[in-house]
């Protein structure tokens, strides 16, 4: 029998091998990430593993895929459900200024701590917002709807195996093998010729719309390794002559704790694709769609912490308007230093970051044996941490950032596309995605809160801090 987490780990590894064959630059990115991680481990020692054991970090990947319809999204949810991955978070990228991104997204990932530790594979999954009149006028929309209805991304055998794996949480080895083969090949780049006129018609609206709705299959768009020092990785990739986008998205490099997520990418590569012209002739063309991305993960922020993060980004925008990318990072670093606590302790006591809490002395000894011997533990979290009663372990951010995602999308699009701003947008929200999938889009904050609260509930009563909200 192959357990669900083993299926997930095997799927991630095979997808990685397949993608490395299709996009050799990805292999370079993985190699450089591994080198950087080894160096960081050597220089920082145990501290390098504060946000995840090196075995997890080295194997950690996220992928990105894009689908066209709620039905297709529902099928994706079944395939990832087989791997123990649930939809978490809702990201609306449609209002990104400066480019046309007619998509809404969620991310499939494991949610339980032990499942994340075994293999945290996640996939950022975007769905085309076909009924949004700002992007698709009625005639194009009905052609697009018909085109999408006529294709099949995932065959019945794959879906049946997926349903079984989800229901039974395991598969016998031969079925697991078949499932993995079918699942990986569903995300390979198709060699079927693309209808060049149809692709171009969608491209006038948005390159992303063309990538999703202009072809008869889906494909993995990128696969992202995790790195422990993204600034160093950026330097080394640039040193190897790989053209990176001009920024690292997300928080700046600074002296305080890493929070949320920092990401950067190299530009989409021209890949040979067969194109069919109106007269039926097929030629070898080239499309720039797939790129390479790398990320560094930090501590998950509470709602308050996240609201602060969003305010700081707005402040950086204001202060860095019209400046270069390098100047912007300087401004961001200054804003961060001014407004964010410089230590994990500060993030914990101000309840800006998520942590699990543990007795500082193992095995819950009697109060009289504890560090501040003789004294009684204070009631507040700050005191319990300061006086050495409790130890806080950071919870890693397992999700994505809409603005960074939009930045990654945008930096890889050649043309801005077009939109009819006079039209009403249509309501796509987490509820609508949940309905399409027949399963709830989970709220990331609730998941982090549960993890924190479980650790609090396990504390001996006299060490439980008051009022952690």
Q: Where does this chain bind ligand OOG (CB under 6 A)? A: 64, 66, 124, 126, 221, 263, 293, 400, 404-405, 408-409
CA distances, 284 to each of 203, 412, 465 (Å): 18, 22, 65
Residue 166 binds Ni ion (CB under 5 A): no
Contact 119, 9 (CB under 8 A): yes
Nearest to 102 by CA among 409, 401, 310, 408: 409
Residue position matching structure tokens 């929309």? 141
- In the beta sheet, which residues pair with residue 127? 67, 104
Cα distance between residue 246 and residue 324, in whole Å = 10
Could you tell me the smallest distance in angstroms from the CB atom of residue 293 to Ni ion? 5
Q: Which helix (H) or strand (E) holds 42?
A: helix 24-44
Residue 64 binds Ni ion (CB under 5 A): yes
Contact range with Ni ion by CB under 5 A, out of 210-218, 219-227, 420-428, 460-468:
219-227
Contact 58, 31 (CB under 8 A): no
Which residue, 127 or 392, is less far from ligand OOG as judged by CB?
127
Strands 122-128 and 103-109: antiparallel
Which residue, 19 or 409, is less far from ligand OOG as judged by CB?
409
Residue position matching structure tokens 């006299």? 462
Task: Tell which phi-psi region holds residue 241, choosing left (phi > 0), alpha (psi between -120 and 50) or beta.
Answer: left
Contact range with Ni ion by CB under 5 A, out of 10-18, 129-137, 278-286, 288-296:
288-296
Q: If contact means CB under 5 to 8 A according to the sort of partner, which of ligand OOG, Ni ion, none does residue 58 touch? A: none
Q: If contact means CB under 5 to 8 A according to the sort of partner, which of Ni ion, ligand OOG, none does residue 332 touch? A: none
Of 132, 211, 293, 344, which lies in the binding site for Ni ion, with binding defined by CB under 5 A? 293
- With CB atoms as reference, the residue minimizing the distance to ligand OOG is 405
Which residue, 124 or 397, is less far from ligand OOG as judged by CB?
124
Could you tell me the smallest distance in angstroms from the CB atom of residue 335 to ligand OOG? 22
Could you tell me the smallest distance in angstroms from the CB atom of residue 427 to ligand OOG? 22
How many residues does this entry show for the chain? 469
Q: If contact means CB under 5 to 8 A according to the sort of partner, which of ligand OOG, Ni ion, none does residue 356 touch? A: none
Which residue, 211 or 449, is less far from ligand OOG as judged by CB?
211
Within a 10 A sphere around the Cβ of 277, how many other Cβ atoms? Answer: 13
Nearest to 283 by CA among 199, 351, 370: 199
Cα distance between residue 105 and residue 92, in whole Å = 6
Could you tell me the smallest distance in angstroms from the CB atom of residue 64 to ligand OOG? 4
Which residue, 209 or 261, is less far from Ni ion as judged by CB?
261
Could you tell me the smallest distance in angstroms from the CB atom of residue 226 to ligand OOG? 11
Residues forming the site for Ni ion (CB under 5 A): 64, 224, 293
């Amino acid at each position: 029998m192959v357990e669900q987490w083993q299926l997930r780990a095997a799927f991630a590894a095979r997808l990685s091998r397949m993608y490395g064959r299709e996009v050799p630059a990805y292999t370079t990115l993985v190699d450089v990430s591994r080198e950087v991680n080894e160096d960081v481990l050597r220089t920082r020692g145990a501290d390098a593993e504060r946000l995840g054991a090196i075995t997890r970090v080295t194997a950690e990947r996220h992928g990105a895929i894009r689908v066209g319809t709620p039905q297709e999204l529902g099928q994706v949810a079944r395939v990832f459900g087989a791997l123990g991955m649930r939809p978490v978070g809702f990201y609306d990228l449609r209002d990104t200024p400066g480019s046309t991104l007619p998509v809404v997204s969620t991310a499939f990932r494991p949610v339980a701590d032990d499942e994340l530790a075994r293999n945290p594979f996640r996939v950022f999954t975007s769905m085309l917002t076909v009924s949004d009149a700002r992007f698709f006028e009625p005639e194009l929309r009905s052609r697009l709807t018909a085109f999408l209805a006529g294709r099949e991304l995932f065959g019945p055998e794959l879906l049946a195996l997926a349903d079984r794996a989800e229901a039974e949480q395991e598969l016998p080895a031969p079925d697991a093998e078949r499932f993995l083969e079918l699942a990986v090949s569903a995300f390979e780049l198709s060699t079927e010729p693309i209808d060049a006129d149809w692709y171009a018609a969608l491209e006038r609206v948005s390159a992303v719309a063309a990538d999703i709705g202009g072809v008869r299959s889906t494909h993995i768009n990128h696969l992202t390794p995790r790195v422990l020092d993204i600034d160093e990785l950026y330097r080394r990739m640039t040193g190897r002559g790989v053209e990176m986008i001009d920024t690292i998205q997300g928080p700046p490099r600074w002296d305080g704790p890493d929070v949320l997520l920092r990401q950067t990418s190299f530009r989409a590569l021209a890949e040979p694709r067969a194109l069919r012209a109106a007269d039926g002739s097929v030629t070898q063309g080239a499309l720039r769609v797939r790129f390479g991305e790398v990320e560094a993960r930090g501590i998950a922020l509470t709602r308050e912490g996240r609201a602060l993060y969003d305010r700081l980004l707005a402040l950086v925008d204001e202060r860095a308007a019209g400046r270069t990318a390098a100047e912007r990072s300087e401004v961001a670093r200054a804003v961060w230093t001014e407004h964010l606590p410089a230590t994990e302790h500060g993030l914990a006591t101000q309840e800006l970051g998520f942590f699990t809490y543990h007795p500082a002395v193992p095995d819950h000894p009697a109060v009289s044996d504890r560090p501040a011997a003789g004294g009684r533990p204070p009631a507040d979290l700050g005191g319990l941490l300061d006086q050495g009663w409790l130890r806080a372990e950071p919870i890693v951010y397992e999700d994505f950032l809409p603005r960074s995602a939009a930045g990654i999308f945008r930096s890889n699009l050649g043309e801005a596309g077009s939109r009819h701003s006079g039209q009403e947008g249509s309501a796509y929200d987490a509820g609508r995605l949940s309905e399409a999938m027949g399963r709830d889009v989970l709220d990331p904050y609730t998941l982090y809160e549960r993890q924190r609260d479980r650790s609090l509930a396990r504390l001996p009563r006299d060490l439980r801090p008051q009022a952690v909200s």
